[in-house]
Structure 1
Amino acid sequence: MTSRPASPETKASTSRLLMRLARAEGDERISVGEIVSRLGDRAPGLLLLLLALPMCIPNVPGISTVFGLLMLGPALQLTFARDQLWLPNRVRAWTVPRAALSGALRRATPTLRKIERLIGTRWTMFVLPPAEQLLGLQTVLMALVLMLPIPGGNWPPGITVAATGLALAQRDGRLALLTVPMAAVSVAIAWVGFRVGMAAINHSIHFIENLFAA
């Protein structure tokens, strides 16, 4: 993947691009393919941001597995340096209510604007190849962690992926660097959660065995 020139879409802030998407007119439902097309050359970063935001808050058990699978598309694109975001036709055909998407984006935009005051285009060597490919590999790892059934373990990798997506969208290399220790902490928390879960399962098995043995 070569260094991309600064197009008007690249210069626009993330919040401005999302508001354009929120205001876009069309059918009652909008497809994933149309969303990707409207996001332009920043689709991978913005898609990661959109997919990660629901993971930053408590949610329905099991939903992180679905979002982790969806994150693999843009993450693998970054890892293998593909110029075009590839998604299966079935995924591109998925639709969501346009009004619901618009409402969610409008609610998220004020907070995003506040965050944008702290970030900007800087240290771009850390968001361009080959560093961009390493960020993609890191995001693949976070997506896999999200797919694990660890209670309460979805928000650390969710925040990490959201920060990575924002760093890529805004070309903020300093923020991209900060995601590296965030990813390490996410893996550590997942490992601890896994060990605690396995210990709890083993304890339960021994308790049941002793109960019947008595």
Structure 2
Amino acid sequence: MYSQTLARSMTLYELLGRMQSTHTENKVAFGELIEIMEKRGFGPMLAVPAFIAATPIGAIPGIPTVTGVTIFLISLQILLAKKHPWLPGAIRDIGIDRESLNNGIGTIKPAAMHIDRFLIPRWLFMRQYVFRAMIALTCAMCGMMMIPLELIPFLGLIPAFSVLIMAVGMTTDDGVVALFGLSLAAIGFYMGGAQLFQTLQG
């Protein structure tokens, strides 16, 4: 069982490589990136919007909201055990600057090779439905939180990074990393909720 799971795991380096585009167009459709990851499972699909939100591209107005809604919809479909994700055409057709995306991935890929040494299949009980549902629910909450947090500079990075870490844990079958992402999300909920409350009170 362990060796079979190990053989199916995708490394972080491979995950980033699949996000890179070799086409020549200036823009890459958001839906295109999701489709590339669809055959590899929901973990890689969640990693796409989370990664975009956590890069400088995420500073573009509207991107945190789009990626947050995408994370919410994909997570909801994990909970509903859907085999194929559905996203509105308006989201799928959004263009992401290809050069910025590839440059961001290219910057991180060398470090990913070192990180991959520590990402191994373990704590496989996290793949059971109850834990998978817990991760999906947490990712959905993070996605929704990213929408109002767009109004507060940099704070939306916490839920985005949380989803990215959980997605990497799901992709590489590393339950320890997935649990770390859950813990980071809990911290993000507290900090984000407190900041939103102060903002509304002010």
CA distance in 1, matches of 2:130, 2:51: 26
Secondary structure in 1 aligned to 2:122? coil
Partner of 2:134: 134
Identify unmatched segments of 5+ residues in structure 1: 202-214
User: For residue 83 of structure 1, what is the amino acid of its counterpart?
Assistant: K
Query: Per the alignment, do residues 97 and 7 of structure 1 end up closer, same or farther by CA in structure 2, a change over 3 Å counting?
Result: farther
Query: Per the alignment, do residues 26 and 64 of structure 1 end up closer, same or farther by CA in structure 2, a change over 3 Å counting?
Result: closer
Partner of 1:161: 163
User: For residue 165 of structure 2, what is the amino acid of its counterpart?
Assistant: A
User: For residue 148 of structure 2, what is the amino acid of its counterpart?
Assistant: L
Of 171, 179, 182, which residue of structure 2 is paired with 1:180?
182
Superposed displacement of residue 21, structure 1: 4.5
CA distance in 1, matches of 2:19, 2:162: 24
1:195 equivalent in alignment to 2:193: no
User: For residue 187 of structure 2, what is the amino acid of its counterpart?
Assistant: V
8 A Cα contact 2:6 2:121, kept in partner: no
Q: How does 1:1-214 map to 2 (within 5 A)?
A: 10-22=8-20, 25-26=22-23, 28=25, 29-56=27-54, 59-60=59-60, 63-149=63-149, 151=152, 152-199=154-201, 201=202
Superposed displacement of residue 26, structure 1: 4.2
Normalised TM-score (structure 2):
0.79
Superposed displacement of residue 173, structure 1: 0.9
8 A Cα contact 1:121 1:173, kept in partner: yes
Comparing 185-194 with 86-95, which one deviates more in the overlay?
86-95
User: For residue 195 of structure 1, what is the amino acid of its counterpart?
Assistant: F
Comparing 52-61 with 68-77, which one deviates more in the overlay?
52-61
Query: Per the alignment, do residues 79 and 99 of structure 1 end up closer, same or farther by CA in structure 2, a change over 3 Å counting?
Result: same
CA distance in 1, matches of 2:67, 2:19: 21
Instruction: Give the number of aligned pairs.
Output: 194
Normalised TM-score (structure 1):
0.75
Query: Per the alignment, do residues 126 and 195 of structure 1 end up closer, same or farther by CA in structure 2, a change over 3 Å counting?
Result: same
CA distance in 2, matches of 1:156, 1:25: 30
CA distance in 1, matches of 2:165, 2:15: 17
8 A Cα contact 1:123 1:172, kept in partner: yes
User: For residue 49 of structure 2, what is the amino acid of its counterpart?
Assistant: L
- Report runs of 4+ in structure 1 exceeding 6 Å deviation: none
Query: Per the alignment, do residues 88 and 120 of structure 1 end up closer, same or farther by CA in structure 2, a change over 3 Å counting?
Result: same
Secondary structure in 2 aligned to 1:81? coil
Greater C-alpha radius of gyration: 1
Secondary structure in 2 aligned to 1:130? helix
8 A Cα contact 1:31 1:94, kept in partner: yes
8 A Cα contact 2:76 2:140, kept in partner: yes
Query: Per the alignment, do residues 26 and 131 of structure 1 end up closer, same or farther by CA in structure 2, a change over 3 Å counting?
Result: same
CA distance in 2, matches of 1:196, 1:185: 17
8 A Cα contact 2:121 2:175, kept in partner: yes
Secondary structure in 2 aligned to 1:120? coil
CA distance in 2, matches of 1:57, 1:31: 17
Question: What per-residue deviation string (whole Å, max 9, x for no partner) do you get for residues 23-81 of structure 1?
Answer: x5446244334323322433532232232234446735654223211212221122222
